[in-house]
Structures are given as C-alpha cells and as structure tokens.
C-alpha cells in the first residue's frame, strides 16, 4: 500500500520509545509534550515558497528525525502506525 503525502507533508513512522533510548534521545518529561523520534518513509509531492517557486525538502527517505508528539495526523496502514505532518514542524535530523 503506497502513501504519497500531499504538498509539503511528510510520512513518518514513529520509533517506539524503548528503541529510541538506544538511539540516545530521551526527551525529558517537561510540562510540554515530549518530542518523539521517527523515521521518514516518504516526502510529499513538493514544497513551494510564497512566490510559487519549488523548494527542496530538508529531509529525505530513511532520515531519523525528532518531531513534536502531536504535530501530525495519525494513520494506520497494513497494521503499522504512521504520522503525516508538514516538514516545517519537524525539529531536527538526528543520528
């Protein structure tokens, strides 16, 4: 089942919290929502700036990223959970 995010959106598979610890990123239990780790599965059909000019994505398929906990929309495909979110909302590339 192929999912092509639309526009500047990105499809990310959240990394389970226990696995995340191996990667060294534990997010402190601060008042604000803990950001979570995830793997980029697919980038969108394309980002355009305010002048309609195409802008390249900063992330690519396979990158491990740090994203806000509730930044995207949850979807489940073939039993796996994913998040669809706008690239601007992704915090960092880690690894």
Q: Assess 17 for contact with a copy of itself (CB under 8 A).
A: no
Contact 27, 36 (CB under 8 A): yes
Our finding on whether 76 is near a copy of itself (CB under 8 A) is: yes
Single out the residue of 30, 39, 29 nearest to residue 67, CA to CA.
Answer: 39
Cα(20)–Cα(49) distance, integer angstroms: 33
Dist CA 29 CA 49 (whole Å): 35
73 touching a copy of itself, by CB under 8 A: yes
Q: Which of 19, 48, 60, 61 binds a copy of itself (CB under 8 A)?
A: 48
Q: Is residue 62 close enough to count as binding a copy of itself by CB under 8 A? A: no
How many other CB atoms sit within 10 Å of the CB of residue 64?
A: 18
Binding site for a copy of itself (CB under 8 A): 1-7, 9, 11, 23-28, 30, 32, 35, 45-46, 48-53, 55, 58-59, 65-66, 68, 70, 73-78, 81, 84, 87-88, 90-95
């Amino acid at each position: 089942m192929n999912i092509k995010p639309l526009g500047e959106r990105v499809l990310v598979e959240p990394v389970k919290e226990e696995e995340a610890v191996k990667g060294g990123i534990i997010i402190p239990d601060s008042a604000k929502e803990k950001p979570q780790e995830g793997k980029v599965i697919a980038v969108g059909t394309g980002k355009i700036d305010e002048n309609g000019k195409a802008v390249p994505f900063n992330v690519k398929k396979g990158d491990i990223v740090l994203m806000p906990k509730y930044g995207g929309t949850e979807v489940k495909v073939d039993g796996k959970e994913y998040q669809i979110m706008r690239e601007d909302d992704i915090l960092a590339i880690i690894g």
